[in-house]
Amino acid sequence: MHQSANTKLHGKKVTAKARVVKKHATVRVAAVSKVPSFGQLAGLHGGHDALDLKSSVAFVIDQDTQEVLFRKNELAVLPIASITKLMTGLLISEAKLPMDEIITISQDDVDMEKGSSSRLRVGTELSRGELLHLALMASENRAANALGRSYPGGLPVFVGMMNARAKMLGMADTRYVEPTGLSSKNQSSARDLATLVNFAYGDPTLRELSTSIGHQVAVGKRTLQYNNTNRLVKNPAWEIGLQKTGYISEAGQCLVMQAKVAGRKLIMVFLDSTGKLTRIADAERVKRWVESIPSPVSKAVPLASMVTDQPIVAN
């Protein structure tokens, strides 16, 4: 049998051509194994909108008049990833717990859902205020879980409070099962999230911490630098009052914001965007569009009565 000089039997060596084939096969397997988002499974990416947004779900309203400026699948109920942390932060802020109380990161805060990493090692001690800052600004998962775990009554009570608060706000399509957003069972609609952003904007702590550009924390002998997950907060062209980003495979790239555009206070919600930077690009598209349209002349519409359609639920 003829044998290439670069090849031995039993697979000890392979030719350059075989190596290329193997490499390409690996790439194909990786592409196939990627988890589709719930929005993709529900066929929400098949439609086209006037602004050519890459987010399959979008909702933009004027905060003062509650006029709907843009809507796209705003009733679809989808995973919301770390947008969850906005409700987590709201409950912690409203509870008026001591912000200087030291909380220790425990094994219970380690992500067993997605296996995500964290620079907050087990045993790290930080104040509740520091954990809240990192959860809202840098989307730190262990920080968010520790906040819920250390709530009076523990994590089950905290998650119950998250759902009760959502119900009180009229967020009928929203469900939480944990405080970080790592679980795809944390779900909501863009319309509900606009309600949450509108209410959360009234909390000065949430406004300040969510829009902080960066923050350093001392952990033992180390000093850790954290930066905001939303690059728009340091863009001088934007005036952002509140924001939160989110991402897990099932949710796609997500972003909620309160921002002033063309003299108008807007609430923007983008869910299930494809590509790392597309949620930011979608926000920029909306901003340019709003800047190009005349000031509103329509009568204010109460948020609770803007839509009466039944929600699309992606299971």
Residues labelled catalytic: 82, 85, 139
DSSP states along 21-64: HHHHHHHHHHHHHSPPPHHHHTTGGG---TT--SEEEEEEEETT
Q: How far is CA 295 from CA 70, 257, 265, 267, 291, in A?
A: 15, 20, 12, 16, 9
Using CA atoms, how far apart are residues 94 and 133, in angstroms rounded to an integer? 15
Pair 143, 110: CB distance under 8 Å: no
- The neighbour count for residue 156, using CB atoms within 10 Å, is 10
Q: How far is Cα 6 from Cα 106, in angstroms, rounded to an integer?
A: 52
Please list the residues that pair with 21 across neighbouring strands: none
Cβ count within 10 A of residue 97? 17
